[in-house]
């Protein structure tokens, strides 16, 4: 059984620790365990309850009313809210809970319902990407277990691979894009998603995957010259590392456009060389590749 501090609850639920303490005293929303030194400790069930309380509270429910609900009633209210697919925060919170529970069935249910309502592409951009940003912050803060992050990332990866397989039989144009992650980069969800979009737009895709050595990139480009490269910079390198990467790409492949995404490249938008393009959504990506 996992044990959480009140600060962990704050980071995961978004409710301030001070507010949680007040709600405990005034409404008895949760009854934490106590250490011998009187420090609060919370269980998985406590965390799930506070997450559901957070969802209802953020959607206009009064805490005095929420506090009177048992866990089953809380869950039912949240399910009712999740049927409103314009409320992406509820979907994201549901995915957080499914990650904490390692609950594949719940995860698949949320995604399937969203895909039916708003389509696969919108589900990835409006729900999965913000969700991944959220768990990235929680992981860096040490609030969630790496195994939980791996569990959910692999479920998302499976969904994308199935979608890509469905596009494999499509006849592609002569233009090709090489998709890769630099050495040390292991988060390939965005890489898979944008390679799927490229296939849908009729481009040939050379998918090299994660942590590709620079010399391998040169070799592949010599064997199969591409019309563009696509990569993502997610891990937090030093400022020098990003600049050196971009300069090396530019000097080695001076005539080939680079399409870039990822949190780290956004911090260096002003330093991107000519013929390098930043994308943050599918619309940007589609506009850029149409010009290739």
pLDDT for the residue 97: 85
Residue with tokens 């609950």: 103
Q: How many alpha carbons lie under 13 Å from residue 281 in its C-beta half-sphere?
A: 8
CA pseudo-torsion sign 255, 260, 265, 271: positive
Cβ-contact 247, 273 below 8 angstroms:
yes
CA pseudo-torsion sign 110, 285, 261, 258: positive
Q: Which DSSP letter does residue 72 get?
A: H
Instruction: Provide the pairing of β-strand 33-34 with 40-41.
Output: antiparallel
The per-residue b/e assignment along 245-275, b for 16 or more CB within 10 angstroms, e otherwise, is bbeebbeebeebbbbbbbebbeebeeebeee
| Cα gap 172→62, rounded to integer Å | 54
Domains of the chain: 43-162 (no CATH), 170-290 (3.40.50.280)
Digitized pLDDT (tens) for each residue of the chain, 292 residues in all: 678 899 988 888 889 999 999 999 999 999 999 998 999 999 888 988 998 898 889 888 999 999 999 998 988 888 777 666 667 888 888 898 888 888 999 899 989 988 988 999 999 999 999 898 888 777 766 777 888 888 999 999 999 999 998 886 556 567 999 999 998 888 899 999 999 999 999 999 999 999 999 999 999 999 988 999 999 987 765 555 778 888 899 999 999 999 999 877 776 677 788 889 999 889 999 999 999 8
For the stretch 140-192, pLDDT in tens is 667 778 888 889 999 999 999 999 988 865 565 679 999 999 988 888 999 99
Structure tokens at 271: 């330093």
Nearest to 188 by CA among 226, 148, 156, 228: 156
pLDDT for the residue 86: 67
| Cα gap 9→1, rounded to integer Å | 15
Per-residue CA distances from 188 to 123, 182, 185, 247 (Å): 17, 11, 8, 23
Helix (H), strand (E) at residue 288: helix 282-290
| Cα gap 282→120, rounded to integer Å | 12
CA pseudo-torsion sign 89, 91, 93, 99: negative
Q: 180 — phi, psi (to 5°)? A: -155, 160
pLDDT for the residue 176: 93
Q: How many alpha carbons lie under 13 Å from residue 260 in its C-beta half-sphere?
A: 26
């Amino acid at each position: 059984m996992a044990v959480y501090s009140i600060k962990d609850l704050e980071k995961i639920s978004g409710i301030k620790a001070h507010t949680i303490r007040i709600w405990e005293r005034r409404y008895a929303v949760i009854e934490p365990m106590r250490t011998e030194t009187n420090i609060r400790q919370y269980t998985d069930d406590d965390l799930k309850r506070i997450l559901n309380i957070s969802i209802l509270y953020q959607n206009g429910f009064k805490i005095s009313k929420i506090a009177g609900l048992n866990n089953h009633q809380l869950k039912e209210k949240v399910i009712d809210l999740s049927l409103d697919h314009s409320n992406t925060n509820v979907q994201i919170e549901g995915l957080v809970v499914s990650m904490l529970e390692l609950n594949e069935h719940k995860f698949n249910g949320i995604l399937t319902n969203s895909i039916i309502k708003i389509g696969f592409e919108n589900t990835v951009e409006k729900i999965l990407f913000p969700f991944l940003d959220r768990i990235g912050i929680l992981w860096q803060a040490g609030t969630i277990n790496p195994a939980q992050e791996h569990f959910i990332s692999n479920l998302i990866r499976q969904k994308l691979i199935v979608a890509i397989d469905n596009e494999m039989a499509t006849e592609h144009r002569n233009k090709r894009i090489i998709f890769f992650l630099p050495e040390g980069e292991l988060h390939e969800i965005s890489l898979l998603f944008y390679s799927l979009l490229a296939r849908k737009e009729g481009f040939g895709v050379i998918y090299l995957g994660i942590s590709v050595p620079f010399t391998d990139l040169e070799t592949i480009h010599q064997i199969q010259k591409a019309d563009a490269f696509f990569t993502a910079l997610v891990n937090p390198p030093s400022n020098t590392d990003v600049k050196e990467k971009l300069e090396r790409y530019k000097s080695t492949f001076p005539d080939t456009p680079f399409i870039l995404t990822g949190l780290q490249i956004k911090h260096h938008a002003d330093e991107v060389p000519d013929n390098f393009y930043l994308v943050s959504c599918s619309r940007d990506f589609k506009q850029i590749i149409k010009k290739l």
